[in-house]
Amino acid sequence: MERTVTRRQVLKAAGVTAAAVTSPWWMVKSSHAQRAKKLVFWHLPNFTPLADELQKQQVYEFAKSAGLKDTDVEYSTVAGEQAMAKLTAGIEAGNPPDVIRLYESNVQFYAAGGHLLDLHDLVQRMRREPKGIFESSLTAVMYKGRAMGAPLAVNPWPVHARLDLLEQARLEYPKTWDEFIETSKKIQSPPRLFAFGMCLGLVEDTTDNVMNLLWCYGGKMVQADNKTVVMSSPENVAGMKVIEAMFKTHKIIPPGAISWDNSGNNKAYQSKQAAFIMNPTSVYAYLDGNDKDLQKVTGLFPVPAGPKGTVNQIDTWSYAAFKKTPYPELAKGLIDYLMQPANYDKIIQSTGGRWVPVYKRLFDSPFWKEKPAFKHFIQMAETGVPVSYAGAPTPAAGEVLNTHLIPKMVQRVLVDNWEPAKALDECHKRIADVYARYEKA
Amino acid sequence: MRSVTRTRRVLKWTGNVLLVVFLVWTLVPFYWMLVTSLKKDKEIYGFEATLVPRQPNLDAYRRLFAQTPFVKYLVNSTIIAVSTTAASLVLGCLGAYALARLRFPGRRLIARGLIFSYLVPPALLFIPLFTVMSTLNLIDTRHGLTLVYLSFTLPFCTWLLLGYFRSVPLELEEAALVDGCSRMSALVRIILPISLPALAVVAFFSFTQAWNEFLYANVFVNSVDVRTITTGLTLFVVEDVFFWGPMMGAACLATIPPVLIYLIFQRWVVKGLTLGAVKG
């Protein structure tokens, strides 16, 4: 039997095919269109419920002042670790939040993708505040000479040190890494207490801890041109030999540190199994709410000096607004409102030292002057460098951090017993490949 | 004779020892969750890992109920898991029955497509699904999340029921049709009552999948009012600080509903797994 195809069937099939083929376009288009209803703010939790509550209040205060109703605002709390998957989906669907807080290199990553609103004017206004802002925070937000995010806080990575143990041994906080090793040997009592909770697992904190020590020996990952990788330098070799000696010869780092996650050093300090750790003040803020006794005997210090002096790490969180926002002026206005020193100071202080203000004049407040633990913060914020030093926190630097190329090098030395020079050579090639790829793109 | 008995005894004891090992392997994580939720922070972070809490207390649970919207998460998870289960059962039964009994073009293709669609990993689907959900204005809604969950529960449930329905003798249904039943009435009065074990498996599977799902719940839900337990747990990790007590407490409580469901349906689940699941 011969089967005939009618004109109507052909038209139907053509209609269905056309709809299917063009569906991604109209779905994304209409997806974006239906978003034009609320001002969307994604909040990443801070360390105190009070800080979270204050921030929420301020977002709604701003909305009210801008003539919006509470129902015109969508305030979502997104757990930090999960935010990136959500954000990726939101951007792909043309439906990202209007305002979000981004970590370090993510500002430049999304700026490079053309996703962020230019906040240069706003940041310039921040810089014009009396005493200005810590210029060190700008490396994270500047992309092609424009500020694509508003630096929210400078986070120093001080050494958390057990003052009670130093006092018992009648020792001062060590000024150099050589002194640090000697002091460590005197105050530790393994296996219950190791001196140095240095993170050495395949995680981001390892890159931070290791690079911080290498800087003191004159080492770097990349030059300031953000192109020339210098990982296999003699200075880095010298620094890696010190880390190797601390782990294998002096045994001041717990053996388990090679398998720690990002919370490993926190846990070691919080459980009094480490006398020193290098970490943002999240540990100090945690102790504020959970172990006041330990907090009282915790000092926060700059890292000891190496042959090239002391170099301290900072990282920077920033507010950013997405271009897809149907309310660009409201989004910028919200960031402006949150960053007004009077509003901002309330939130910063309510985090109990977790967030260090980006405005220099806020350090005049008794909050920062009364606690000896905060004594070194202003100097650290002033001179601190990002983990990508001497380069900026570019997308390439972000990939190096996220793919753990430096922790893998460390494990070559400590686990596979490679010579530091050989491990650094391998690491250099890998990092150079990453930077070359981004340079081409 | 004696050596046969001894061999049997040795085999029996070996089996028992293996069972105990697996039992410990399975139960220790739950035990650890429970005792951690009853410890104080100082003990959790202490040098020695204690198997029995030194000063058992309910602080973590108090904090969970007083300072976090845990109850809201629990209610949301329950609503979404129950809705997904109910929809999977109804739609799965209808779909499987149609594929098993009715003759229409593309029937085989659809049956195979069920498995293929089930095998696509959620990590590939969440971005296109986000677009669809945004377009339909279903982001951040419980019914939206339920619909998304059906994308993975429904293919599996339909496929499983399809195998089971095919094993039901056609004559039973034909007799019902001769006696005046409609197709729907034959399905409801004849097929479903004798498919109870398969339905129990489908229900249990859908419930646990929907209860434990994380990725879609994380991506498609923003507000506290719609958040489920799995995504709520992540809020006990703030950067590199873990709030172990409340997190373990929440995890302990979150395991109770699936365990209860399993205990209720256990008899049918075991039967269903051995009968329906192997036919296809």
pLDDT averaged over chain B? 89
Position B279 scores a pLDDT of: 45
Is there a contact between B222 and A42 if contact means CB atoms under 8 Å apart? yes
Q: Quick: pLDDT tens for B233-275.
A: 988 888 788 889 999 999 999 999 998 888 887 777 766 665 5
pLDDT of residue B273: 60
- Of A36 and B261, which is predicted with more confidence? B261
Task: Give the pair of three-digit tokens for residue B116.
Answer: 């293929």
pLDDT band (50, 70, 90) for residue B47 = confident
Asked if the Cβ–Cβ distance from A47 to B238 is below 8 Å, we say: yes
Query: Residue B46: its chain A contacts at CB < 8 A?
Result: 271
Could you read off the pLDDT of A53-103 as tens digits, one per residue? 999 999 999 999 999 999 899 898 887 767 888 898 888 888 899 999 998
Distance separating alpha carbons of residues A154 and A141, to the nearest angstrom: 12
State mean pLDDT over B7-23: 94
Evaluate whether residue B53 is within a structural domain: no
Helix residue spans in A35-79 (DSSP H): 49-65
Which of A40, A85, A280 shows the shortest C-beta gap to B218?
A85
pLDDT tier, B277 (very low <50, low <70, confident <90, very high otherwise): very low
pLDDT of B280 reads: 42
**Subunit contact B42:A49, Cβ cutoff 8 A:** no
Check residue A1 and give its pLDDT: 47
Between chain A and chain B, the number of residue pairs with CB atoms below 8 A apart is 96
Q: Which residues pair with A75 in a beta bridge?
A: A41
- Closest-CA distance of chain B to residue A225, Å: 31
User: Do residue A35 and residue B223 have CB atoms under 8 angstroms apart?
Assistant: no
B167 in any annotated domain: yes
End-to-end CA distance of chain A: 59
Chain A contact for B14 (CB, 8 A cutoff): no
Whether residue B235 lies within 8 A of chain A, CB to CB, comes out as: yes
Q: B30 and B111 in one domain?
A: no
Is residue B167 domain-shared with residue B208, that is, in the same domain? yes
Name the residue among A95, A267, A286 with its Cβ closest to that of B134: A95
Of A35, A90, A263, the CB nearest to B240: A263
For residues B25 and B159, membership in a common domain is answered with no
Instruction: Convert the pLDDT of each residue in B68-118 to its tens digit.
Output: 899 999 999 999 999 999 999 999 999 999 999 998 888 889 988 888 888
Residues 6+ apart with CB under 8 A from B146: B80, B83, B84, B87, B210
Out of A77, A93, A273, the one facing B47 most closely (by C-beta) is A273
Together in a domain, B87 and B10: no
Q: Which of residues 238-257 of B touch A (CB under 8 A)?
A: 238-242
Is residue B123 very low, low, confident or very high in pLDDT (cuts 50, 70, 90)? confident
pLDDT of A319 strictly over 60: yes
Q: Looking at the predicted structure, is the pLDDT value of residue A218 above 60? A: yes
Check CB contact under 8 Å for A89 and B231. no
* Residue B49 included in any domain: no
Q: For the segment A383-419, what is each residue's pLDDT rounded down to a tens digit?
A: 999 999 999 999 999 999 989 999 999 999 999 999 9
Residues B197-203, mean pLDDT to the nearest whole number: 90
Which segments within A114-207 are labelled E, that is strand? 142-143, 146-147, 150-156, 159-162, 194-196
Q: Are residues B204 and B181 in the same domain?
A: yes
Site of tokens 């410890």: B39
Task: Return the structure tokens found at B109.
Answer: 């293709």
Select from A383, A380, A341 the least CA-distant residue to A364. Answer: A341
Q: Which residues of B touch A76 (CB under 8 A)?
A: 222-223
Average pLDDT, chain A: 91
What percent of chain B stands above pLDDT 90? 52
Q: Do B17 and B144 reside in the same domain of the chain?
A: no
Inter-chain touch B238–A205, beta carbons under 8 Å = no
pTM value is 0.81
DSSP state of A222: B
Q: Do B47 and A95 touch (CB under 8 A)?
A: no
The answer, yes or no, to whether residue B276 has pLDDT greater than 70, is: no
B58 vs B122, more confident: B58
Same structural domain, B69 and B40: no
* pLDDT attached to residue B272: 62
C-alpha A136: how far from its chain's center? 14
Q: Are residues B36 and B83 in the same domain?
A: no
Q: Between B131, B215, B235, which is nearest A79 by CB?
A: B235
Domain count for chain B: 2
Chain B residues with CB-CB distance to A40 below 8 A = 222
Q: Is residue B123 included in any domain, yes or no? A: yes
Asked if the structure places residue B127 within a domain, the reply is: yes
Q: Are B276 and B201 in contact (CB under 8 A)?
A: yes
Residue B50 lies in a domain: no
**Interface check B174 vs A, CB under 8 A:** no
Q: Which residues pair with A194 in a beta bridge?
A: A274
Q: Is B27 inside any structural domain?
A: yes
Residue of chain B whose Cα is closest to the Cα of A86: B219
Cβ-Cβ contacts under 8 Å, A85 against chain B? 126, 215, 218-219
Chain A residues with beta carbon closer than 8 angstroms to that of B242? 263, 267
Q: Return the amino acid letter for A259.
A: S
Scanning B100-159 for CB atoms below 8 A from A yields 126-127, 130-132, 134-135, 137, 139-140
B207 domain residue, yes or no: yes
Q: Is the ipTM of this complex over 0.90?
A: no
> Does residue B206 share a domain with residue B232?
yes
CB hemisphere CA count around A436 (13 angstroms):
7
Q: Residue A18 — pLDDT band, cuts 50, 70, 90?
A: confident
Structural domains of chain A, ranges and CATH numbers in brackets: 34-154+315-383 (3.40.190.10), 159-311+394-440 (3.40.190.10)
Q: Which residues pair with A171 in a beta bridge?
A: none
What is the rounded distance in angstroms from the CA atom of residue A265 to the CA atom of residue B228?
Answer: 31
Co-location of B31 and B64 in the same domain: no
Domain that holds residue B267: 59-275
B222 shares its domain with B85: yes
Region of poorest pLDDT, from A386-395, B31-40, B130-139: B130-139
For residues B98 and B34, membership in a common domain is answered with no
For an interface test with A, the pick among B63, B73, B234, B239 (most A C-beta atoms closer than 10 Å) comes out as B239
Distance separating alpha carbons of residues A45 and A79, to the nearest angstrom? 7
Q: Which of the two residues, B241 and A381, has the higher pLDDT score?
A: A381
Q: What is the pLDDT of residues B137-174, one digit of tens each?
A: 898 899 999 999 999 999 999 999 999 999 888 888 88
